[in-house]
Structure 1
Amino acid sequence: MKVVIAPDSFKGSLTAREAAVAIVRGVKSAVPLAETSLIPMADGGEGTLQTLVDATGGSTTHVQVKGPLGNQIDAKYGILGDNQTCIIEMASASGLVLVPDGKLNPLVTTTFGTGELIKHALDKGYRKFILAIGGSATNDGGAGMLQALGLRLLDEKGNEVGFGGGCLKDIDCIDLHAFDERIKESSFLIASDVENPLIGPNGASYIFGPQKGASQKDVAFLDDQLTHWADKIEKKIGIKIHDNPGAGAAGGIGGAFQAFFPSKMERGVDVVIHHTQLQEKLADADLVITGEGQVDSQTASGKTPMGVAQTAQYLGVPTIVMAGSVGEGIEVLYEYGVVSVHSIVNRPMNLETAIKQASMLLESSTEQVVRSYFHHHVPKLQGGLV
């Protein structure tokens, strides 16, 4: 009997690998002789870099770059096991996790550090890139990233404009003369499940601005800034990104890639599924267990449990989803091969306790779920189910 274990991280408590190990312990407690295959997952957000590096036997490189608030930080990028593909995780250089409590402000946060990571990798000779752009703290339309790569954004007086989504309307001229020529020689796969346009009520500012610290007043202001930025891009290079699906990803950096890079977008979880060879490892499985911190209606939009379930359903393998918490709208998951969804919180407790005990709770809940699931599938033998 083979159980494939393919969870995402339980944010704030467990990495994807730690979650997978806890699930294995639960499976083994219920079915001691079960064969288990661990495949830590991600969906294009934080953790994608390490998942792909681990899955392919790659390596990481550390670089000093500007963080989202302009201060110097230690960031990293990965090289996959083919020694040709560079994986850059935007969260490492421009992520929400890098901004202290009370300092979130998309009017000033910049993607400059993400551009510095790309430049460093170009300097090392890499020309094939995967960009995991989830978890950003920015709303600057990718302007900072482009500046780090030599693009000059000038105001009416010919001075370089400042950083952040609040400075985009200062742009009077886009100067491409020093923009890194090596970008034309490269390929960029953008791992993102976001299909929002750049501007408007479903755009980057209105949908994602509040989680990055924007007030309702800020949201409208930021949307105007991005509109001006898109207008300037269209006037300069003839590419209209205002309403492009995916242009609003990561505070508009998706639009920057569409306009200035030889790039294509792909659902983040599908990129990870490909590089972890999940489909091949599911071929002879009896069950797959996946999960993440919060499972709700948004999970079906391309989060890890959905991607795993779709892959498993294609092969006729049932999926069980474990979650830190279960919200509304999970019913749609049942259409994609999910047998059941379970919260690991098994008694009244506050969030702090749940986070601290997450590993134990995940192990215990998995054991009970697996015991129940396999009760009618295999006989009981001395020492447990097999």
Structure 2
Amino acid sequence: MARKPKSEPLRFVVKKFGNSTLFRWPSPGPWFSSLRRFHQRCAMRSAFGLWLSALGILPSPAAEADASSTNGLPQPVPGWRMELLLTAPQLRHPSVVCTAPDGRIFVAEDPMDISLPRASLPEGRILCLHPEGRVTVFAEKLFAVFGMQYLEGKLYVLHNPRFSVFIDADTHGTNRTELLEQTNPEPWALNWNDHVPSNFRLGMGGFFYVAVGDKGLFGAVDRNGKRVDLHGGGVVRIRPDGTGLEVFCHGVRNILDVAITTEDELFTYDNTDEHEWMGRLTHMVDGGFYGYPFDFIPRRPYTLWMLADYGPGAATGALAYTDDALPSEFHDNLFLADFGQRNIRRVILERANGTFREVRNELLFPDPPPDFRPVGIHETADGR
């Protein structure tokens, strides 16, 4: 088996009001591989706002701080670095990000919820950022894209009410096939694509696990003709061929992503209702019921409970680090993106009987700027 590159950055999308950026967030520390040290030495900005690697001398921490301050980049905690890959006008209104094994990055745009007159318009698109810096339009005329995963030469795209798959033709997608014709008859209710089926991850059993907000599923029929309805938020799963659709667990509010560990344990980061249900990290189990909206005040004995409460915010992306490019202490750590708190939170867990407990957590940006708004997070396998 070919060995993976020994440096694996995390990618995440930051959404700004009226502006947008795509960052590469390299792995911690400068000593894990010469490939990453070379890549991180310095960066220069192109005419389109794309940051590219350039040969140079690794700047001192003070020089790095000065440069980042000048460029307006958020400053991570020591041991982590940031690189700007794409910004407006090339990228506007990003919603979710994923990567391919060859180093390409896919990022979706959702102008319908920001700058267009109706949230129901199929005016979304997916941009493909190639390793050499070229940007192509992979797919367009989509509904609001909130879920993407790349698997075996195909890009799977959840753009409610459709769940589609494209064959990868490098610069663009071809042979679009619908896995689900409808997740919800009106996902843009109240003229807003929110609280909808969102991002999904592949589990070791061959299912995609899909985060679903509390608009739920109604009239979703898989390719074998099986209908599934979900009242409220939860997790559903479906095979990549569009069969096997079923509810995995339910009773949450507005989750946008699913983090899956090396042991196939699922975790979600839920959005606050501004009252008693705050930003919750939860261990999701098969058949679990978590109490939202009617059975969590007071907590009922027949509901499952959260692992941690991180207060008010706007939970977006969730990632479990499952590779071996980072030191062992990062194995199966969770990285949680929060649009409202303007931060990425690293969470370290340990087993506690049949579930888990938080050992500790840390925010990776001590003083984020007001327009730093992460909406998605994904690791890459290109070693840069």
The answer to whether the superposition gives a TM-score over 0.5 is no
> Which of the pair has the greater relative contact order for Cα pairs under 8 Å at 6+ separation?
1
TM-score band, normalised by shorter chain:
0.3 to 0.5
Higher strand share: 2
TM-score using structure 1 length: 0.32
TM-score for both structures, normalised by structure 2: 0.32
1 or 2, which has the higher helix percentage? 1
Larger radius of gyration: 1
